[in-house]
């Protein structure tokens, strides 16, 4: 199909009136009729059912419209993006992250991305209190974040890296003098659970309610991460975090210990179901090639 044929077909499919379609396309009377007839002769398939009073799509026409419209729009976007890249006016890709380690990885990938596609990359820290807000509002186009993520409108890519978990204890806690802590040993402790707006499946995976042998672990909720830190500092319980957290959230009244018995935290890429533009896909590709390094 030629461009003018695609435009004529899609316009007519939308307007369902030869007159309005020719007007919108700025063509002469009869032209749209000629173009559509030629298409139908070439395909050997009617695309519209028409009387002099009504124009309707045939099933074949509906299929063509449904599949052609997104393809045609992508052609236009492709040209616009290429021109933007060539002129250096491409808009920066907005990328979210929820861990400093993810930011490192993103910034390394950003250089290679900008080299090839231009436009640059802007990073945004995403608070765990609202982990999917920015990606849902379009503030970021993709995000590197803690797994698992199971949201109907978000697609999850492969695991990028894995972070060991630490346990944060008050320095007077009975376990604080040990070299490391097993999950089993937390049976008699209270676990400070960072609730926020994190999904339930996320909390259930990160904060177990039982030890491997089945003994219960008491929970107490904290609405904000800083609140969780304070509660541990006040001796009201222990909590978990990824290994890097030690560098950012050190306090004099607490100690961090390696933690065994619960799986480490996976980090992966997420993006909106319908947001996988070629630029986004390209950045995901680069991220995944940097995964190993």
List of residues contacting DNA (CB under 7 A): 2, 4, 17-19, 26-31, 33-38, 50-53, 55
Nearest to 202 by CA among 149, 260, 126, 152: 149
The residue among 2 and 62 lying less far from DNA, judged by its C-beta, is 2
Q: CB within 8 A of 152, min separation 6: which ones?
A: 273
Binds 292, which of DNA, a copy of itself, none (CB < 5 to 8 A, cut-off by type)? none
289 binds a copy of itself (CB under 8 A): no
Cβ contacts of residue 16 below 8 Å, gap of 6+? 55, 56, 57
| Helix boundaries (H) for the chain | 3-15, 18-25, 31-43, 59-87, 100-117, 133-137, 200-206, 225-233, 245-248, 278-290
**Ramachandran bin of 133, using left for φ above 0, alpha for ψ from -120 to 50, beta for the remaining angles:** alpha
Of these partners, DNA, a copy of itself, none, which one is at the site of residue 59 (CB under 5 to 8 Å by kind)? a copy of itself
- Per rule CB under 8 A, is residue 78 in the interface with a copy of itself? yes
Q: Which of 72, 202, 225, 290 touches a copy of itself by CB under 8 A? A: 72
Q: Could you say which of DNA, a copy of itself, none residue 38 binds, taking C-beta under 5 to 8 angstroms by partner kind?
A: DNA
- The owner of tokens 């765990």 is 128
**Closest CB to DNA among 2 and 164?**
2
Q: Which of 12, 64, 140, 228 binds a copy of itself (CB under 8 A)?
A: 64
x/- letters, 84..113, toward a copy of itself (CB under 8 A)? -xxx--------------------------
- Quote the CA–CA distance of 23 and 260 in Å, as a whole number: 71
Q: Using the minimum distance from each CB to DNA, give the nearer residue, 36 or 257.
A: 36
Distances (CA, A) of 273 to 49, 73, 98, 142, 280: 35, 18, 20, 11, 12
Selected binder of a copy of itself within 29, 30, 79, 258 (CB under 8 A): 79
Category of 113 on φ-ψ map: left (φ > 0), alpha (ψ -120 to 50) or beta: alpha
Among 28, 41, 137, 152, binds a copy of itself (CB under 8 A): 152
Distance CA 179, CA 46 (A): 77
Give the C-alpha separation, 144 to 117, whole Å: 20
Q: Of these, 12, 36, 55, 61, which contacts a copy of itself (CB under 8 A)?
A: 61
Q: How far is the CB of 238 from a copy of itself (least distance, A)?
A: 19
Which DSSP category does 30 fall into? T
Tokens representing residue 82 in the block: 């290429």
Is residue 6 involved in binding a copy of itself (CB under 8 A)? yes
Q: Which of 26, 41, 53, 115 binds a copy of itself (CB under 8 A)?
A: 115
Which residue number, 83 or 234, has a Cβ lying nearer to a copy of itself? 83
Applying CB under 8 A, the residues found at the interface with a copy of itself are 1-3, 6, 43-47, 58-64, 66-68, 70-72, 74-75, 77-79, 81-83, 85-87, 115-118, 148, 150, 152, 155-159, 201, 209-210, 213-216, 273, 278-279, 282
């Amino acid at each position: 199909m030629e461009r003018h044929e695609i435009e004529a077909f899609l316009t007519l499919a939308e307007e369902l009136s030869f007159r309005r379609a020719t007007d919108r396309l700025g063509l002469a009377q009869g032209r749209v009729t000629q173009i559509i007839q030629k298409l139908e002769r070439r395909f050997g398939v009617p695309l519209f059912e028409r009387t002099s009073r009504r124009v309707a799509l045939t099933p074949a026409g509906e299929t063509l419209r449904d599949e052609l419209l997104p393809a045609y729009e992508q052609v236009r976007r492709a040209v616009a993006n290429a021109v933007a890249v060539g002129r250096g006016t491409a808009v920066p890709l907005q990328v979210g992250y929820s861990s400093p380690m993810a930011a490192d990885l993103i910034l390394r990938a950003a250089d290679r991305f900008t080299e090839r596609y231009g436009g640059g990359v802007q990073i945004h820290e995403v608070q765990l209190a609202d982990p999917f807000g920015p990606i849902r509002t379009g503030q970021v186009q993709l995000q590197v974040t803690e797994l698992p993520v199971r949201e109907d409108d978000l697609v999850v890519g492969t695991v990028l890296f894995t972070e060991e978990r630490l346990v944060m204890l008050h320095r007077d806690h009975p376990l604080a003098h040990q070299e490391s802590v097993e999950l089993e040993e937390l049976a008699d402790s209270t676990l400070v659970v960072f609730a926020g707006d994190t999904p339930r499946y996320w909390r259930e995976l990160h904060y177990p309610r039982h030890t491997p042998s089945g003994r219960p672990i008491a929970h107490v909720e904290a609405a904000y991460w800083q609140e969780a830190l304070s509660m541990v500092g006040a001796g009201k319980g222990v909590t978990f975090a990824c290994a890097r957290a030690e560098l950012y959230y050190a306090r004099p009244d607490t100690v961090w210990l390696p933690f065994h018995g619960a799986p480490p935290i996976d980090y992966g890429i997420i993006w909106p179901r319908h947001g996988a533009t070629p630029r986004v896909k390209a950045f995901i590709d680069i991220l995944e090639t940097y995964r190993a390094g």
